[in-house]
Copies of this chain bind each other. A is one copy, B any other.
Amino acid sequence: MTVEGPKTPRADWRAIHRELSRRISTREWAPGDLIPGEETLAAEFGCARATVNRALNALAEAGLVVRRRKAGTRVAETPIRQAKLSIPLIREEIEALGADYAYRLISSSPADMAPPGRFAPDAPLVHVAALHFADSRPYVLETRWIDCSVVPGADRPDLFASQSANEWLVRHAPYAGGEMVMSAAPANATEAEALGVSIATPLFIAERLTRAPSANGGNAGSPVTFARLAYAPGRKLRLHL
Interface residues of A in 170-221 (CB under 8 A from B): 170-171, 174-186, 200-205, 208, 210, 213, 217, 219
- The answer to whether A238 has its CB under 8 Å from any CB of chain B is yes
Instruction: Give the shortest distance, in Å, between A180 (CB) and chain B (any CB).
Output: 4
Given known contacts A31-B171, A203-B202, A241 and B86 CB-to-CB distance under 8 angstroms: no
Interface size class of A (residues with CB under 8 A): 35 or more
Please, how many angstroms separate the alpha-carbon atoms of A63 and B80 in the complex?
22
How often does this chain occur in the complex, in copies? 2
Instruction: Give the shortest distance, in Å, between A141 (CB) and chain B (any CB).
Output: 14
Given known contacts A77-B170, A79-B170, A83-B85, A182 and B25 CB-to-CB distance under 8 angstroms: no
- The answer to whether A22 has its CB under 8 Å from any CB of chain B is yes
- The answer to whether A106 has its CB under 8 Å from any CB of chain B is no
Contact of A80 among B22, B27, B210 (CB under 8 A): B210
**Contact across chains for A237 and B178 when beta carbons are under 8 A apart:** no
**Contact across chains for B77 and A82 when beta carbons are under 8 A apart:** no
**Contact across chains for B178 and A80 when beta carbons are under 8 A apart:** yes
Please, how many angstroms separate the alpha-carbon atoms of A83 and B88 in the complex?
11
- The answer to whether A78 has its CB under 8 Å from any CB of chain B is yes
Chain B positions within 8 Å of A27 at CB level: 174
Instruction: Give the shortest distance, in Å, between A33 (CB) and chain B (any CB).
Output: 12
Interface residues of A in 45-79 (CB under 8 A from B): 63, 77-79
**Contact across chains for B81 and A239 when beta carbons are under 8 A apart:** no
Interface residues of A in 149-165 (CB under 8 A from B): none
Interface residues of A in 101-140 (CB under 8 A from B): none
Ranked nearest first, the 6 interchain pairs of A and B with the lowest CB-CB distance are A202-B202, A184-B184, A184-B204, A180-B239, A182-B237, A25-B213
